Amino acid sequence: MKKSFLSLILIFFVASLSADEGMWMLHLLKQQKYPEMKKMGLKLKDYDIYNPNGASIKDAVVQFGGGCTGEVISSQGLVLTNHHCGYGQIQNHSTLENNYLDNGFWAMTKAEELPNPGLTVTFIDKIEDVTVYVKECLQRDKEQDKDGIFFLSPTYLKSIAIARVGAEFLKNNAGTDVEIKPFFDGNQYFMFTKKIYSDVRLVGAPPSSIGKFGADTDNWEWPRHTGDFTLFRIYSDKNGNPAAYSPDNVPLKPKRWLTISTKGVAENDFVMMIGFPGTTHKYYTSWEVAERRDIDNAVRINMRRVRQEAMLNEMLADPQVKIQYASKYSGSTNAYKNAIGTNWAIDLRNFEQVKLEQQNCVLDWALKNNKPQYTQALDKICEIVENRADLRYRNWMLNEGIIRGVEFAGVPVGAANMLITALESNDEDKIEKSTAQLLADYNRFANKDYNREVDKKVGKTMLKEYTKLMSREKQPKYFEVIYSQFNGDVDKFVDYIFEKSIFGSEENLQRFVSGNKNAEVLRTDPMFQFARSVTDEMLSLRTRLSAFDNPFAVARSTYLDGILVMDGANAHFPDANLTMRLTYGQLKGYKPRDAVHYSHQTTLDGVMEKEDPNNWEFVVSDKLKTLYDTKNFGRYALSDGRMPVCFTATTHTTGGNSGSPVMNGKGELIGINFDRNWEGVGGDIQYLPDYQRSIIVDIRYVLFVIDKFAGATHLIDEMEIK
């Protein structure tokens, strides 16, 4: 009887992987998922997707910047990604006179394409299993590894990656890099050989009324009607090698680019997606699920709501502020809605119980097979989560409420500290250099996207909420001034900071640098004291929390080892960690609640239904309305004459998949992933087959906007379209 029960538990654990669940490693597809993909509609060979010895679809997919995905769609290095992935670059090029956020941007010649310092795209040349190599290195270096952290250390893994290929190889191959990453909490290791290009130019972006249509109201929502795309181009030197920006650089001739299909797809058709998903927590224990819901997400939801309301009021009142704070606001709301959706899913499907059942599978198997280390690992995880709870809450409150919530909390103080030392030692040379750095620090702080009055108003709001929820003795030390000098009046406290600080205004700064500089003024400057105190509290909390990190990492690694030994190394997919993955599924709608059904496809009809000229999130341009009224959709319309905009699929995605190419069974590009539905964000912890959907821009809408709306037909001409 016991044996039968245990068998049922193990079957449940492995079978709990839905057919559409998973973020799979490309080089393991043949062993893991290729047969199932073929049954669902894949028409390609496994080596058409990943081929270490030749060109494959993998070579047309890039990591865009540090946190998005893009795809190469022409033989001239044209890259397609999301509007929100290129939002920072569009914003940087925008002014009141040339507002590309509001009006869009289209380079009609390559000479008009705009460079973006600091932006990179990364190709993955090769993926290798180096588990044996890493474990040999760890054994070799165990005497140096006094804290037992090398097995997850990026620095250590980087050093042995370089040692494996040789520094000479990297030196002789411009733009090439290697990285070893741990998987399953350090039970497997793969090495990625990369080619990184740094001359990436903005080619085209629709206006935000298309690229961000619905903005924050529609974020994480379905039905969706957003043309969330942007075009860039990769440039190389004349030999095709990565090179810093130069007018002499030429468009990259890539190894592979994607063919585009305008034939469309029907509900239940097979689709697949390749991208760089960022972070998932498939292997959370039940205690970590509760911690995520009750501390991390609860704090984030509340503190971001307070900040966003204050920020939005200022943005709506001033067009200049709207430009300055658009990216900050968007970045804040993204994680805010994610946290809300995750908590909803945790409670709806009782993720605590789901993870508890998974733990019990391991515990029962460990008992049967005399593996006490797995039981001990789970006990240790439970103990640590309980013991770190108060510190974790304080850290989340400080991070969300003050560090992220109050801009002047992050004012740079390095130059001020150096100038204090220089003034006290009467070193004229250092005084001059430190003063120059102080001016540079101010300009970095009060940059073009900073508004002093907005910072004051938002800062007051955030400090009131923080001091209300955090007991006085657990606040940063300088916050005692709020009570001792201002009788708890936060408004007066913030006004005092800006009035007295040399960084409180341009006038204050100039008065200080042009007068008799005084070290005591810098030491007692209220904004600097505020920032120093916040930093001190942050470092104190991090230090105290870090004491849990190593034993927690070891316990989790042991627990994951138990899962892999129990089920087999190829039975599961590793949690996302910004490495290249493939996910697949079907085009499919869903039922979010009783008596409601969402179809898988939206059209331009929905854009017009949502139009609200008095709401900046739902403004529709006159040109788009004219194209709609005249049904000037060209070859991009559906068979019934409507213009497709977005669709949904059951693919398993997360942050980092933004911009990922969505392909049909032939490997042809049919859409660009840009979001998930609100009901599905809990899939970062546990996939929800009934609810989880990727939200995707239909490639036909992308082409329609480029062609009919923007008139950038030269870009259409360089693509391969079927």
Could you give the maximum distance between any two Cα atoms of the chain, in Å?
A: 87
DSSP string, 410-440: G---HHHHHHHHHHHHT-HHHHHHHHHHHHH
d(Cα 374, Cα 386) in Å, to the nearest integer? 19
Query: Are the beta carbons of 260 and 706 closer than 8 angstroms?
Result: no
- Token digits of residue 10: 């193990």
**Which candidate in 74, 209, 434, 658 is catalytic?**
658
DSSP string, 223-253: S------EEEEEEE-TTS------TT-EE--
DSSP for residue 399: I
- H helix or E strand, kind and range, residue 649: strand 644-649
Q: Is 198 a catalytic residue?
A: no
**Best CA proximity match to 61, nearest among 3, 125, 136:** 125
Q: Is 84 a catalytic residue?
A: yes
CA-to-CA separations, 74 to 63, 233, 684, in angstroms, rounded: 17, 10, 33
Residue with tokens 């990216």: 327
Q: Is 658 a catalytic residue?
A: yes
Tell me the angle at which helices 526-546 and 389-398 cross, rounded to the nearest 10 degrees. Answer: 150
CB count within 10 Å of CB 669 equals 26
Helix, strand, coil shares of the chain, percent, nearest 5, are 50, 15, 35
The dihedral of CA 401, 405, 409, 410: what is its sign? positive
Query: Exposed (0-12), middle (13-18) or buried (19+): which is 70, by Cβ within 10 Å?
Result: buried
Residues 6+ apart with CB under 8 A from 679: 341, 344, 345, 590, 592, 688, 691, 692, 693
* 3-state SS class at 565: helix
Give the chain's length: 722
d(Cα 350, Cα 355) in Å, to the nearest integer? 9
**Which candidate in 27, 83, 84, 225 is catalytic?**
84
CB count within 10 Å of CB 473 equals 6
**Which candidate in 102, 228, 575, 684 is catalytic?**
228
Residues 6+ apart with CB under 8 A from 159: none
Phi, psi of 474 (to 5 degrees): -105, 10
Reported in sequence order, the residue ranges of 156-236 that DSSP labels E, i.e. its strands, are 176-183, 188-197, 199-205, 230-236
- H helix or E strand, kind and range, residue 75: none
DSSP for residue 197: E
Residues 6+ apart with CB under 8 A from 499: none
Question: Which residues are catalytic, by number?
Answer: 84, 228, 658
